[in-house]
C-alpha cells in the first residue's frame, strides 16, 4: 500500500456512555485484509461465526473478496443478501437478518459484518444491536456517504411504515474498515450526494478540509479528486464525526450540529415527496439556505457564505428549487421536524468556517425571505 493510510481511534473514554473505543481504518486496497485485522483485534475471540449482510450489487463486486478474507483466517462465514434501497430498510428485512442469525447459530461472541452503504449498515447494525441483546459489529462501508457519515457514530435502525429511522438503537461497531478503492463502482449521483455531507463537515468542524476542497477544480466525480484530497476527505470527515459523537454519544448538544443543512433539507425532501432530490441534494439546498440565514443574522460573513456556495457548485449539487414549489409548504414542514422543542425550530448555523452552533432565534419570516432570495431563480 503506497498510498496514504491511517487508523483513527475513536476515543470514548470521556463519553457519557463509556462504550469501548474502536478503530476507523482507512487504506486503499485493504479489503482483502479485513479478516486479518479482525483477528488482530480479537473480534470473534469467543465465536468464529460471522454473518455478512450485503446487497446484490455490492456483494457481486466484493462478496468473494470479503468472504475469502474472513475464511482464510478461520472465520465461519454465512451471508445474507438483502434488496438495495431505503424502502427495504424495514421490519421485514430485519426479520430476515434475525432468521439468518438463527440459521447460522450466531452466539453472543459472534459478529455481523455490514458490507454496503447506509441502508445495509443501519439494518445490519440494528440487528447486531438487538440479537442476543447485542453482538459484535464490523462496518465495511462501500459508499462515500457511509464512509464519512453513517458507518461512524453508532446510530442504527430501521424505518417505520410512517417514518424514517423511528426504530433504532445506539450500537458502536468494533471496527470500521474503509477501502477507498470500492468507490470506483459507486454511481456518480451517489458520489455527489455524499459530497454534500463532506462539505458540511468542512463548514461545521474542519476549516482546513474546507480550504483543501476549495483548491480542487471539481468535486463532482471521483476521477477529479486527487488521491491526497480523497484521503483527506475520508480521514478528516471520519475524524470529525468520531470527535463529535464521542463528545456526545447520545444525541444531545454538540451532536446536534451534524444536522447543519438537514432541517430545511428534510423539509424540502418531504415537500417534494422524496422524489425530486435525494438526501444529499436536499442537504446541499438546506446548507445554502442555512448559510444565507446565518449571513443575514450576522452569525458568519457574506464572504464565508459565498465560499460555501462555490463548494456546492463544484460538487455539482443543485442550487435552486424548481419554480413550482410552494415555499410556504417548506416553512410549514419545518414545524413537523423531529428537532422541534416546545414549538421552536432548533437551527444549526455556522459562526465561521469550521464552527457551528444551535440557535432558536430563526423565525419563520427569516426562513421565508431567505428561501425566496437564495433558492428560487
Q: Does 251 bind a copy of itself (CB under 8 A)?
A: yes
Q: Which of 4, 32, 63, 168 binds a copy of itself (CB under 8 A)?
A: 168
197 given a catalytic annotation: yes
Q: Is the dihedral of CA 12, 144, 139, 277 positive or negative?
A: positive
Query: Residues 48, 49, 192, 262: which is the catalytic one?
Result: 262
x-marked contacts with a copy of itself along 93-132 as a string, rule CB under 8 A: --x--x---x----xx--------------------xxxx
Task: Kindly indicate which of the ranges 10-18, 116-124, 200-208, 284-292 contains the residues binding a copy of itself, using the contact rule CB under 8 A.
Answer: 10-18
CB of 25 to a copy of itself, least distance (A): 25
Single out the residue of 213, 182, 174, 186 nearest to residue 197, CA to CA. Answer: 213
61 given a catalytic annotation: no
- In this structure, how many other beta carbons lie within 10 angstroms of the beta carbon of residue 120? 31
How many chain residues bind a copy of itself (CB under 8 A)?
A: 31
- The helix (H) or strand (E) run that includes residue 234 is helix 227-246
As a whole number of angstroms, the distance between CA 306 and CA 291 comes to: 9
Q: Which residues pair with 176 in a beta bridge?
A: 24, 139
Alpha-carbon torsion, ordered 143, 63, 178, 279, to 10 deg: 10
Residue 12 Cα to chain centre, angstroms = 19
Q: Does 163 bind a copy of itself (CB under 8 A)?
A: yes
As a whole number of angstroms, the distance between CA 179 and CA 288 comes to: 31
Q: Does 91 bind a copy of itself (CB under 8 A)?
A: yes
Grid coordinates representing 148 are 464519512
Q: What are φ and ψ of residue 219, in 5° steps?
A: -130, 15
> Which of 206/249 has CB closer to a copy of itself?
249
CB of 133 to a copy of itself, least distance (A): 4
Residues belonging to the active site = 133, 155, 197, 241, 251, 255, 259, 262, 266, 279
Q: Residues in the site for a copy of itself, rule: CB under 8 A?
A: 16-19, 46, 91, 95, 98, 102, 107-108, 129-134, 155, 157, 160, 162-163, 166-170, 250-251, 338, 341
Amino acid at each position: 500500500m503506497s498510498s496514504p493510510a491511517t487508523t483513527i481511534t475513536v476515543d470514548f473514554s470521556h463519553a457519557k456512555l463509556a462504550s469501548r473505543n474502536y478503530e476507523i481504518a482507512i487504506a486503499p486496497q485493504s479489503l482483502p485484509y479485513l479478516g486479518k485485522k479482525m483477528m488482530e483485534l480479537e473480534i470473534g475471540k469467543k465465536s468464529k461465526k460471522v454473518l455478512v449482510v450485503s446487497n446484490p450489487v455490492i456483494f457481486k463486486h466484493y462478496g468473494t473478496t470479503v468472504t475469502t478474507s474472513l475464511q482464510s483466517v478461520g472465520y465461519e462465514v454465512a451471508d445474507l443478501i438483502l434488496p438495495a434501497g431505503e424502502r427495504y430498510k424495514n421490519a421485514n428485512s430485519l426479520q430476515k437478518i434475525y432468521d439468518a442469525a438463527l440459521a447460522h447459530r450466531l452466539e453472543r461472541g459472534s459478529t455481523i459484518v455490514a458490507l454496503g452503504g447506509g441502508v445495509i449498515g443501519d439494518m445490519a447494525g440494528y440487528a447486531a444491536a438487538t440479537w442476543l441483546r447485542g453482538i459484535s459489529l464490523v462496518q465495511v462501508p462501500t459508499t462515500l456517504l457511509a464512509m464519512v457519515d453513517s458507518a461512524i457514530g453508532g446510530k442504527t435502525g430501521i424505518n417505520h411504515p410512517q417514518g424514517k429511522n423511528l426504530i433504532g438503537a445506539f450500537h458502536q461497531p468494533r471496527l470500521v474498515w474503509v477501502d477507498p478503492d470500492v468507490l470506483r463502482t459507486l454511481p456518480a449521483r451517489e458520489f455527489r450526494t455524499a459530497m454534500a455531507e463532506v462539505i458540511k463537515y468542512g463548514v461545521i468542524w474542519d476549516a482546513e478540509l474546507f480550504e483543501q476542497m476549495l483548491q480542487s477544480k471539481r468535486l463532482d466525480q471521483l476521477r477529479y479528486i486527487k488521491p491526497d484530497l480523497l484521503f483527506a476527505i475520508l480521514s478528516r470527515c471520519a475524524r470529525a464525526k468520531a470527535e463529535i459523537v464521542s463528545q456526545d454519544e447520545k444525541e444531545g448538544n454538540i451532536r446536534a450540529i451534524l444536522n447543519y443543512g438537514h432541517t430545511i433539507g428534510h423539509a424540502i425532501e418531504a415537500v417534494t415527496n422524496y422524489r425530486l432530490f435525494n438526501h444529499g441534494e436536499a442537504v446541499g439546498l438546506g446548507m445554502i439556505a442555512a448559510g444565507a440565514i446565518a449571513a443575514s443574522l450576522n452569525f458568519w460573513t457574506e464572504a464565508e457564505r459565498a465560499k460555501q456556495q462555490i463548494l456546492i457548485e463544484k460538487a455539482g449539487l443543485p442550487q435552486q428549487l424548481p419554480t413550482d414549489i410552494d415555499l410556504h409548504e417548506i416553512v410549514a414542514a419545518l414545524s413537523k421536524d423531529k428537532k422541534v422543542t416546545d414549538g421552536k425550530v432548533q437551527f444549526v448555523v455556522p459562526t465561521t468556517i469550521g464552527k457551528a452552533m444551535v440557535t432558536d432565534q430563526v423565525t419563520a419570516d427569516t426562513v421565508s425571505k431567505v428561501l425566496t432570495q437564495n433558492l428560487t431563480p
